[in-house]
Chains A and B, each alone.
Chain A
Amino acid sequence: MSYLEYQVRYVPAGLRKLLYLNWPIIVLLTAVACAGFLMLTSVAGGDISRWAEPQMKRYAVGIVLMIGVAMVPIWFWRNMAGVAYAASLFLLVLVEFFGTEGKGAVRWIDLGFMQLQPSELMKIALVMALAAYYDWLPMGRTSRPLWLVPPLLLIFIPTALVIRQPDLGTSILLLAGGGTIMFLAGVHWAYFATVIGAAVGAVVAVFKSRGTPWQLLQDYQYRRIDTFLDPENDPLGAGYHITQAKIALGSGGVTGKGFMQGTQSRLNFLPEKHTDFIFNTLAEEFGFVGGLTLLILYGLIIFFCVASALQNQSRFAALMTLGVAMTFFLYFAVNMSMVMGLAPVVGVPLPLVSYGGSAMLVLLLAFGLVQSAHVHRPR
């Protein structure tokens, strides 16, 4: 199989490809990353070398990798989808046996020079594998029940492995990301309606049965769910962090307290202020204006991805681009919901802003695929 399935009039070659990159996305990504550098400098008390500098280096490496990936024709990447998926799955299984532990979860493989988090790789590999599957599958079979089994297995196997680590945030991202591709590929509405309906029904059943003789879970399990859903009931334990995070965000007001003037983060009331809760520092120091600007930057990235996908006749390219966009969206939407107290804290970083290598590199590689699809689109 090759790209020649489509009618291609012109494909840029060599360095000319650089001109055909989706430059608005690169600019927007860089703008978001710069906001990240600024905030990492702030939470380190003005010390650039502590977090901002390593983050910049990683971003530079990531951008180079992204452009490198973009230079390679998209059909190559489509053909690599299976390999990428198999490799990621292998690494996930490896984590089960050889992973290193951190913060009560086993997520990392120590490669010596860096800590690799295979679940991050899996996010992008799953998107590729599903896009490739539906690219291969004739449209007519998309909604046949039998042909739903392979994609579901592709989704559930890594999700199960990740949830064992335990890493609830990543498993939600995998489920939602995978489901999105299936939805985009044209799987019938009714399936989604059924699944969502069943899920809602199950949740309702679990909660309604509470206190009745036929209750579905043990009491302690209910109590755990309570704390998880509403940590503010436990103000000195889990609730303390989310309360302080909300205070930081809310006290920023419209224009914020100013760069490095955020008392909540500077005085350590804010937890995980350089990773999961970095948005609260931004919102505290730059206020509603700063927070909304970041949200709009994210929105524009999604917009340019969607626009690129809709222009792209290639089924793999379109599905993959939208899948990456959705994964990216899930990252920041889940993170922001959780730091604003709209969702339970599940440990999802703010993409390109939170300190951390794996997530940033993986996301930039994913945007490399988006760029490759954009450069090599059938015209």
Chain B
Amino acid sequence: MKRPQKDIARSSRVVTRRGLVLGGVQLGLMGVLGWRMQSMQVDQADQFRLLAEENRVNLRLIPPERGLVFDRNGVKLAINEQNYRIVIIREDAGDVDDVLARLARLIPIDPEAIENAKEEMARRSPFAPVPIIERVPWEDIARVNVNTPALPGIVAEVGLSRLYPRGADMAHVVGYVGPVSDYDMSRGYLAEDDDPLLREIPRFQVGKTGVEARMEHTLRGSAGTMRIEVNAAGRVMRELSRIDGTAGQDVQLTIDSGLQAYVQARLEGESASAVVIDLEDGDVAAIASAPTFDPNLFVRGISVADWTGLNENKYRPLASKTVQDAYPPGSTFKMVTALAALEAGVIDTEETVYCPGFVEVADVRFHCWRRGGHGNINLHESLKQSCDVYYYDVGQRVGIDKIAEMARKLGLGERHDLPLSAISEGIAPDKAWKRSTRGEDWRIGDTVNASIGQGYVLASPLQLAVMTARIATGRKIAPRLVRSIDGVPQDSGAGESLGLNENNLRRIRESMFAVSNHNRGTAYRTRIQEETMRMASKTGTSQVRRITAEERARGITSNDDLPWDRRDHALFVCFAPHDNPRYAVSVVVEHGGGGSTAAAPIARDIMLQALYGGTPPLEAYPSNVRSSIREQQDRIEQQAAERANETSDRA
């Protein structure tokens, strides 16, 4: 059957016509495509190129090496240790569980660490290395490296981490570093710091306390930058260019780490603190607070158990008591009252005050520590025997404002700006102070209390050491902790003359000498026997509770019968040699009982250690204590040896 020719022609006509229409439409649409291509690739090409470049290139920061911390003799206190760690890269590992199980058979790993790593992996990109364990011993690294083929995705890396070789001895001075926290950056000391390192390096280590925190900007250095090409998933493909940063500056402290170690060991067992100031430049040769803690625990990430142990310990190991805590200075404040009176000319050195054991001021009875009283007593004897009534009287005569002025002159009530955390200002109270802080008028009883370093007066152990240093030298000694930064020596703290009458100062020093060297002095039992090193000192015992009239009538409860935290604080300040002073020392034993019994022996031992630059000969001690001192020296040396062992094990 043939199709009619007419039909064929008609079909051809329709198909041709409509085919051409369709072809035209297609051509038009292709024109649109071409136009779109042109507008994107020719007209807007630059914009798109920029976007592509932004996609491709990332800037990465290279963290600088943190500056080191040394002691005055170049002993390393804070260093950066090469630290081997084992990381896992999920996408290379394949079966993560299997690989981790194999790794755990090869080297000891805490199961908790494995769980943590798995959690971390779930959060991160598959190519991001996730640390499994840090500080892996070299043998374990070698074992992992040998077994690389069986451990896909497991990589041993080298990084730098902070290490404190002197451990607990320096915890309160050098402090420690830790990963920067949101608090640090929002409200903490880094709130003003816009260093990109803080935000861009994960777990960037910054100083948390002590020198590490206060000298953060000296120690940190500045970041280098690296331009890298990344892919869509953020993986680094290659490095395009690099600008190295600068390492942090090295800091040399004034601390003598040997002396510091001794002081720390000597304070062990007490809740106590001690400060040693070298009088030549105001160098803080030792500044120790006990109990202490191992700062390395914090760098590694402290366990909950360790943290709870430190935080709930009633002796407060985390507190740096030398500067953070201020105590009523007690009788160690008497030099201030005496000097104020002498300078004001309200007393004569030979003038006596009668001490019946108490005095009534504004209907309140103020007691001397010796119930029976001291009888007629002059300045010299009052310091030597630490008579309270003498100062009640003299204090009222000279007035609180003059006392406070002298206290400030001697460095009390002033924040000595050492690079340490939370330095206390203490209180050197006067009338204006009470009005502005309490909104009350100063009362005469306040003066009476303040005259013997009780009441409102508060001073930190550092301030007491500074006070002693200034009395010993007559100069405005300013304590300093930093000897040099990157080899550049820092300003001396020797200070100018205080402008006090040298005769008055000499009288006070003579009386302080008597405290230790006259057989009726309160610290005679803890004297130094060696003629050339004899010391001048003052004991202090400050009450932390109020003794009521009933209790006084009953008989004052002995410190030994009181709970620990109700006992008196024991204080002691001294300088030596008395005629050519080289060191000033202050010791505070919290709730230690009497200054002469709890604090004085410690201060004497520290002073001798400082003066001899090591263990002093037994001849320096009075003969009656030599055998017990010998035992004590042996014990401390043994402890030091044990500690040294621990440290070397760890490093």
Contact = CB atoms under 8 A, between A and B. Distances in A.
Contact of B52 (A263, A283, A313, A333): A263
B18 interface: yes
A180 B22 contact: yes
Given A264-B52, A333-B29, A252 B36 contact: no
Interface string B224-264: 00000111110001000000000000000000000000000
Nearest to A326: B22
A176 to B, nearest CB: 11
B27 interface: yes
B137 interface: no
Contact of A306 (B14, B19, B52): B19
B16 interface: yes
Give the interface residue-count category, chain A. Answer: 35 or more
A268 B232 contact: yes
B56 interface: yes
B15 A4 contact: no
Nearest to A298: B30
A196 to B, nearest CB: 13
Given A183-B22, A340-B36, A244 B1 contact: no
Interface stretch (A36-44, A314-322, A355-363): A314-322
A368 interface: no
Contacts of B233: 268
A310 B15 contact: yes
Contacts of B186: none
Given A267-B231, A292-B34, A295-B37, A322 B42 contact: no
A268 to B, nearest CB: 4
Interface in A243-273: 244, 246-254, 263-264, 266-270
A267 B229 contact: yes
A186 B14 CA distance: 6
B19 A254 contact: no
Given A186-B14, A249-B40, A306-B23, A5 B49 contact: no
A322 B2 contact: no
A334 to B, nearest CB: 10
Contacts of A315: 8, 11-12, 15
A303 B24 CA distance: 10
A112 interface: no
Q: Chain B interface mostly helix, strand, loop or mixed? A: helix
Contacts of B15: 184-186, 309-310, 315, 318-319, 322
B608 to A, nearest CB: 70
Contacts of A263: 52-53, 55-56, 229
Contacts of A266: 231
Nearest to B40: A250
Nearest to B41: A288
B44 interface: yes
A132 interface: no
Given A295-B37, A315-B15, A319-B15, A267 B237 contact: yes
B555 to A, nearest CB: 80
A139 B41 CA distance: 48
Given A250-B45, A269-B55, A336 B33 contact: yes
Interface in B195-218: none
Interface in A276-301: 283, 287-288, 291-292, 295, 298-299
Contact of B48 (A250, A319, A322): A250
Contact of A5 (B2, B10, B22, B56): B2
A291 B27 contact: no
B232 A5 contact: no
Contact of A299 (B12, B27, B44, B47): B27
Contacts of A291: 37, 41
Nearest to A142: B14
Contact of B8 (A6, A340, A342): A6
Nearest to A328: B26
Nearest to B47: A250
Given A184-B19, A247-B51, A333-B30, A340 B232 contact: no
Contacts of B229: 263, 267
B3 interface: yes
B7 interface: yes
A288 B233 CA distance: 28
Contacts of B11: 139, 186, 315, 318
A145 interface: no
A249 B2 contact: no
B45 A322 contact: no
A89 interface: no
B19 A252 contact: no
Interface in A133-185: 138-139, 180, 183-185
A106 to B, nearest CB: 29
B34 A253 contact: no
Contacts of B52: 247-248, 251, 263-264, 269
B38 interface: yes
A1 interface: yes
A138 B7 contact: yes
Contacts of B2: 4-7
Contacts of B29: 329, 333
A283 B22 contact: no
A122 interface: no
B238 to A, nearest CB: 11
A318 B26 CA distance: 17
Interface in B507-565: none
Given A139-B10, A299-B30, A5 B1 contact: yes
Contacts of B41: 249-250, 252-254, 283, 287-288, 291
Interface in B155-183: none
Contacts of B26: 302, 326, 329, 333
B270 to A, nearest CB: 61
A337 interface: yes
Contacts of A250: 40-41, 44-45, 47-49, 51
Contacts of B14: 139, 184-186
Given A263-B56, A283-B37, A310 B19 contact: yes
Contact of B51 (A251, A292, A295): A251
A260 to B, nearest CB: 14
A220 B167 CA distance: 63
A372 B316 CA distance: 97
Nearest to A5: B3
B454 to A, nearest CB: 67
A267 B33 contact: no
Given A4-B2, A292-B37, A309 B44 contact: no
Nearest to A299: B30
B16 to A, nearest CB: 5
Interface in A230-253: 244, 246-253
Contacts of A249: 37, 40-41, 48
Nearest to B29: A333
A244 B52 CA distance: 8
A250 B38 CA distance: 9
Given A180-B22, A292-B34, A295-B33, A310 B48 contact: no
Given A252-B41, A322-B19, A322-B22, A244 B12 contact: no
Contacts of A306: 19-20, 22-23
A183 B20 CA distance: 12
A143 B37 CA distance: 40
B215 to A, nearest CB: 42
Contacts of A184: 14-15, 18-19, 22
A326 B23 CA distance: 9
Q: Which residue among A6, A309, A315 has the maximum number of chain B CB atoms within 10 Å of its CB?
A: A315
Given A183-B18, A250-B40, A313-B8, 5 more contacts: A249-B40, A249-B41, A322-B19, A340-B36, A342-B32
* Closest CB pairs A-B (n = 8): A250-B48, A251-B52, A267-B231, A288-B41, A253-B45, A268-B232, A186-B14, A251-B48
10 contacts: A4-B2, A183-B22, A244-B232, A246-B48, A250-B40, A250-B47, A254-B45, A309-B19, A313-B12, A329-B29
